[in-house]
Amino acid sequence: MADALSVEAIGALETAFAGLLPGAVPAGLTRQVRVLPRRVRPLGMGGYVGQHIEPSAGLFGRRIDAVVEVSVAGGNDTAASGYTATLSGQILAQTRGDLAQRGIHRLAGSPTESVRSLAFSVDFEFIKIPVAGEGLIADLAIDAFNNVTPYRTRSVFEFAGASLALAASPMADFHAEDAPGLDGGSPAGAWSFSNAAPPAIVQTAATQGGPLDLSTPVKAGAQLFIRPSGAPLSLARLVLRIDFQSASPDGIGAVFGRRAADDYLFFLASQRNGYHLFGRRTPAGWSVLASSVAGFATGTPHRLVIAAWDGSLSADLDGNRTLGVTTAEALAAGEVGLLTHGNNAARFLAGRVMELV
């Protein structure tokens, strides 16, 4: 029996590709789009890629390697040849950002023997987005990072609470450390996995170094580094997507570009003190790269997307850009992890690390 989600993914690829074509067709000619899949494989962990926030339901997806053919019928060969040349130019002139929004991560022309046909090699990602609670899915959409960088994205690591709940050792791919410089009397970080709905990685200690407000840039806290099979990541250009929920209004975010315990960049969001912050820790001390007046709603799931490439940093919360900055130097390659600052009720529901290559 055919896999229903794979069938839908193939249909979604045909629709996405057809959307690249201009609406008007020259008089006397017709065109047809046909998808020839070469490989269909599950995304994430067996097809599961995370938890949708609103409504609350699982996200499942497929990745397709395919050849897409565009054939032209009618008219004479000269007219058909001219039209296929025009189509080829318009399709291949699409920006990476436009393609990524349609779920297309790679698009390349392939040779054909006929002047009336075009062929393209396509790598397509499809995720089915629910519009009702768990168990009822009635609409389709593409879940893709809106890539406006000059690089392509490559998925490096993913986790989701629902999948970790099935693992014998849910925390096997993570390594906990506390940043040096915690306040006297501050408790050590307390990272663990919780099956309580929704299942998540939790941090339950008010680990803190430096004030909770922005009176100084010192923001030492509890860190949980992502180390697939025990191997530290080393990424200079990346996109980090984190689904989180917090009953505490204090700092929650991520650390990246970490080369040593006292050498890394970080992002924190604080509801209590109303800020989003990009900061830098070096052996020489702490500094603020940029901050904005923002926060997050406690007790509510949120999606945070952090992008870092060639000195550019940006943060989006629930699809809205809250902070961006360009630094004078390119970012160094380093580890990636989760971060809390004074927050003893942080829940990390899902996450995805993508490298920009």
DSSP assignments along 315-331, one per residue:
EEETTEEEEEEE-SSPP
pLDDT for position 123: 93
Residues 46 and 35: their CA atoms lie apart, in Å, by 24
Q: Which segments in the chain show pLDDT lower than 50?
A: 131-144
How does pLDDT run across 7-62, given as a tens digit for each residue? 888 888 888 888 888 777 888 888 888 899 999 988 876 777 776 665 566 778 89
Q: Which of 86, 112, 128 is the last residue of a domain?
A: 128
Which domain, by its residues, includes 53? 4-128
On whether both 191 and 322 belong to a single domain, the answer is yes
Instruction: For residue 136, tell me if it sits in a domain.
Output: no
Shared domain for 187 and 301, answered yes or no, is: yes
200 within 8 A of 194, measured Cβ to Cβ: yes
Question: How many structural domains compose the chain?
Answer: 2
**Cβ(275)–Cβ(292) under 8 Å?**
yes
Q: 223 and 329 in one domain?
A: yes
| Number of Cβ within a 10 Å radius of residue 2 | 7
Q: Six-digit token pair at 313? A: 């940093």
Q: What is the pLDDT of residue 53?
A: 60
Which CATH number covers residue 193?
A: 2.60.120.560
The answer to whether residues 254 and 166 belong to one domain is yes
Q: Check whether residue 178 and residue 110 sit in a common domain.
A: no
Q: Is 303 inside any structural domain?
A: yes
Looking at the structure, tell me whether residues 312 and 174 fall in a common domain: yes
Residues 6 or more apart in contact with residue 163 via CB below 8 angstroms: 44, 45, 46, 48
Structure confidence at residue 15 (pLDDT): 85
Select from 254, 260, 221 the least CA-distant residue to 239.
254
Side-chain-facing half-sphere of 326: CA atoms under 13 Å? 1
Model's pTM, two decimal places? 0.63
pLDDT given for residue 135 in this prediction: 42
Q: Which residue blocks in the chain are alpha helix, DSSP H?
A: 4-18, 77-92, 96-101, 161-164
Is 139 inside any structural domain?
no
The C-alpha atoms of residue 314 and residue 321 are separated, in whole angstroms, by: 7
Domain boundary among 111, 128, 145: 128
How would DSSP label each residue in 102-146?
A: TTEEEEEEE--S-TTEEEEEEEEEEEEPPSSSTT-----B-----
Q: 């690390």: which residue's tokens? A: 353
Q: Which amino acid is at 30?
A: T
On whether both 192 and 107 belong to a single domain, the answer is: no
In a domain, 143, yes or no: no
Residue 142 is assigned to a structural domain of this protein: no
pLDDT in tens, 226-255: 999 899 999 999 999 999 999 999 999 999
Same domain, 190 and 297: yes
Assigned domain for 285 exists: yes
CA 51 to CA 303: how far, in whole Å?
Answer: 10
Tokens of 218: 């010192």
- Shared domain check, 69 and 192: no
Report how far residue 167's alpha carbon sits from residue 351's, in angstroms, rounded to the nearest whole number: 16
